[in-house]
Amino acid sequence: MNTKSSIGLAGLGVIGAGTAVAYLFRKTIFEKALDLPPAHYKVSVQSNVRLAMPDGVHLASDLYLPQSKRPLPTVLLRTPYGRAGAMGLPMVFISQRFAERGYNVVCQDVRGRFGSEGEFEPFVHEQQDGGATVRWIVGQPWADGQVGMWGPSYLGYVQWAAAAADGAVRALAPLVTQSNMVDLADNGAALDTILRWVFITDVMTEGKTITLGRLRKILQPAVQDQYLADGFMHLPISTADEVVLKKKVPFFRTWVEHFGKENDPYFAQVDLKPTVTQVDAPVHFMGGWYDIFLPGLLDDFMRLQNSGKRPYLTIGPWHHFSFGKQLQTIGDTLAWFDAHLKDNKDGLRPNPVQVFVMGADEWRSFDHWPPPARTEKFYLLRDETGDGRLTRQSPPPANPPDHYRYDPADPTPNAGGPLLSQAAGAVDNRALESRPDVLTFTTQPLFRDLEVIGPVRLRMYVQSSTPHTDFFGRLCDVQPDGRSLNICDGLLRVEPGCGERQPDGSLCLEIDLSATAHRFLVGHRIRLQVSSGAHPRISRNLGTGEPVLTSTRMVSADQTIFHDAAHPSALELPVSLD
């Protein structure tokens, strides 16, 4: 026999044997990889169970039932991304893990998606359908009347909806999500997230067969960008769906119709923030420092914390599509469900808040969020060589301001950060920082570590040639090799009445740069970027004050950033007390 053929057959044999062994010991492998407790139950599966909603629409559900002689608590998973088939493989895997550990699992396609009837109108029917599903679960002979819910993003939002509709929901584990998804859209500002989500959800159901091409469009941001690029630059935004998908998307057009209307009843019905403090179920929030929903998740957590409840909070160095990291939250979720659905609190950690400190690469635990910190100001100035500096010393009486022009026809691009794609996270910002419409202010190399944990803010004195404009700030960690890695950022959309008007006509703005936990190491430098855009992550400000979604006219903005004794612009960092 040919030697190469022998080696090839032997290799295939080894791979086959290895695959067989992995399959036989898959439960043990999963337990170790995800830090799960041992599986104690065999599981039977009932597929495509049709649950009738109050209006007669039937939703498709799969039931994963541990073989038990007594009723058990139930985990409800509701998803628009597929409960079964090729798209539903993650849900099948997760459902099995919960069921093997003594939880009934109901995994359901939301209305209008995959196997469920009706029209998919995001967020609108989730309270009604979630409540009806919970009530059906409670009436089943295998259920003990207690329901827990887990899931990321849309699967997190539906948890708030079901909990608001029915008190039988006794434990929540919302992951990379928030209680009001419309907050993120902010009148169409979250352009990348909106268009990318519209594209992904459409591609998922465009055919019955999952091809490699479809998977690439669903999972690979570079491929998505090829389809989205024209839509990102298209004006008006209100018809961008036709540019991207060559058709009108009904729910996108509905959003366009209602965006920008104050106290609009359509969006009020899906805003679940008012219900957060009314939910009695214990909640374990799980988020990521580079997640698109981090500000909303922290707001929901603090609403509960400030109301006297004791929610848990876990934040890792993750972005929205850190799938592997999200799977690792199942162990914490099981401990949470065991504590609140089975009255076994042995697995609960003592401190409710646990965050990953980037730079230090370690987890830290606290009793509250944000933890105690001192605010340390780093003032902006331009030194005698013309370099932008961050310094702890107050700026001198005279320090010439900086100027740049923001042109919406050539918008300042975004680099990394919180995105709805695998391109999210920390990236090298040097190319971005070389643009003439981006200013940078940088410290000298640090003589000692500086640990920042909590919300980051920028107080900045500005002037603009147009009353309608944006200002964007970004905190970066400059490595010894020169790479400038983004940590957190934020944008303020300025309009008449925004900011504090100064005697000389300038504005003092407070810009929230989100929150972080990061240790700047010895020899590294702290950098602040200042610009007026992060396109297409945030839709460009056209400078006219006309409606964001329907306007097409563009006006450039000439921007001035002041940094002198009368205008002490400063980056404000929450420095850890430990």
Residue 5 has pLDDT above 60, yes or no: no
Residue 17 has pLDDT above 60, yes or no: no
Residue 293, classified by CB atoms within 10 Å of its CB into exposed (0-12), middle (13-18) or buried (19+), is buried
pLDDT value, residue 380: 98
Architecture (CATH level 2) of domain 36-180+283-349: 3-Layer(aba) Sandwich (3.40)
Any idea where the domains of the chain sit in the sequence?
1-34, 36-180+283-349, 184-266, 373-576
CB atoms closer than 10 angstroms to residue 577? 10
Residue 13 has pLDDT above 50, yes or no: no
CA dihedral 394, 399, 402, 403 (to 10 degrees): 140
pLDDT in tens, 371-396: 999 999 999 999 999 999 999 999 99
pLDDT confidence bin for 34, thresholds 50/70/90: confident
How would you classify the pairing of strands 104-109 and 169-175? unpaired
CA end-to-end distance (rounded Å), the chain? 68
Range 46-55 average pLDDT = 97
CATH code for the structural domain at 373-576: 2.60.120.260
Name which of 186-190, 204-208, 331-335 the model is least confident about: 186-190
CB atoms closer than 10 angstroms to residue 265? 8
pTM of model > 0.85: yes
Range 434-445 average pLDDT = 98
Range 134-159 average pLDDT = 97
Percent of the chain residues past pLDDT 70, beyond the cut? 94
Helix (H, G, I), strand (E, B) or coil at 226: helix
CA distance 167 to 149: 13
- The residue type found at 278 is Q
pLDDT value, residue 207: 74
Handedness of CA 154, 204, 198, 233 (dihedral sign): positive
| Closest alpha carbon to 332 in 79, 34, 26 | 34
Are 428 and 485 in contact, with CB atoms under 8 Å apart?
yes
Are 574 and 454 in contact, with CB atoms under 8 Å apart?
yes
φ/ψ region of 246 (left if φ > 0, alpha if ψ in -120 to 50, else beta) reads left
pLDDT value, residue 259: 80
Q: How many helices (H) and strands (E) does the chain have?
A: 17, 22
